[in-house]
Amino acid sequence: MDVMAPAKRILVLTGAGMSAESGIPTFRDALTGLWARYDPEELATEAAFRQHPARVFGWYAWRLALARQARPHAGYRALARLGDRYGGGLVVVTQNVDGLHRRAGSRSVVELHGSLEAFRCVDHGHRFPTEEVLRLRGGGAGELEPPRCGECGSLVRPGVVWFGEVLPEPALRRAWCEARDTDTALVVGTSSLVYPAAAIPGLAAAHGARVIEINPHRTPLSERVDLFWQAGAGDALPVLAARLCDAP
């Protein structure tokens, strides 16, 4: 923990494990029940959506409802507290699409992979109201026919970044800049398997940053970090926040 004491700037990179203690399954186990037989990388693609729109849209509508019901746990609140303590010196770069960092009060959040709250038409990007998606009712087996865009009649898709799609340029640019400028990278709840997000800790380290990982399990990043803290986000982050915020 003392490895973080001299931190002037902190880049926090989070993944699905950050939301596990808020009851949202991690990406690799998000395919529970109805979707258990699919590989997430198969469902989280435009091709899968165009081939099986009701299956893919049903999965995202289910995840949106789950995210809306979820409450940010103590680890989220600890990151918001650290954000208040470090002001502009702390940024949360998240791979998650559930919106929980902002709901917990973090003000500097970069959403690399979009948001479950954003829907748009698959062909022209016309925005579609989230509340209308929440009012839809599926035909069973978790499937849900996507609505049609009121402007052009195309299918409506979730506003997330699918595999094979480029990340939003402003978000990616901000993440690269923060990785180059930070002196501490805190990597929480990610399997460090999906790129380009997984390249962020290495970029920070290449520019002299210390890297700390919080995860109950080891990952491909674990042997390259300055400190591997084997713990859940909800346990470790409040302890870290108390140490850094209450220190004289």
Catalytic residue numbers, as ranges: 113
Q: Whose Cβ is closer to ligand BV8: residue 76's or residue 89's?
A: 76
Residue with CB nearest ligand BV8?
17
Min CB(44)–ligand BV8 separation in Å? 4
Residue 136 or 163 with smaller CB distance to ligand BV8: 163
**Cis peptide upstream of residue 40 (ω within 30 degrees of 0):** no
Q: How far is the CB of 144 from ligand BV8 (least distance, A)?
A: 15
Exposed (0-12), middle (13-18) or buried (19+): which is 181, by Cβ within 10 Å?
Answer: middle
Tokens coding 9: 């700037």
Distance in angstroms (rounded) separating the CA atoms of residues 123 and 155: 8
Nearest to ligand BV8 of 121, 186 (CB atom): 186
| Neighbouring-strand partners of residue 186 | 12, 212
Task: Find the shortest distance in angstroms from Cβ 24 to ligand BV8.
Answer: 10
Q: 136 φ, ψ to 5°? A: -70, 150
Torsion of CA 125, 25, 44, 54, to 10 degrees: -80
Six-digit token pair at 65? 């409802």
Shortest spacing between CB 234 and ligand BV8, in angstroms:
6
Using CB under 6 A as the criterion, which residues of the chain lie in contact with ligand BV8 when the complex forms? Answer: 15-17, 20-21, 26-28, 41, 44, 95, 97, 113, 160-166, 188-191, 193-197, 214-217, 219, 232-233
Rank residues 121 and 172 by Cβ distance to ligand BV8 and give the closer one: 172
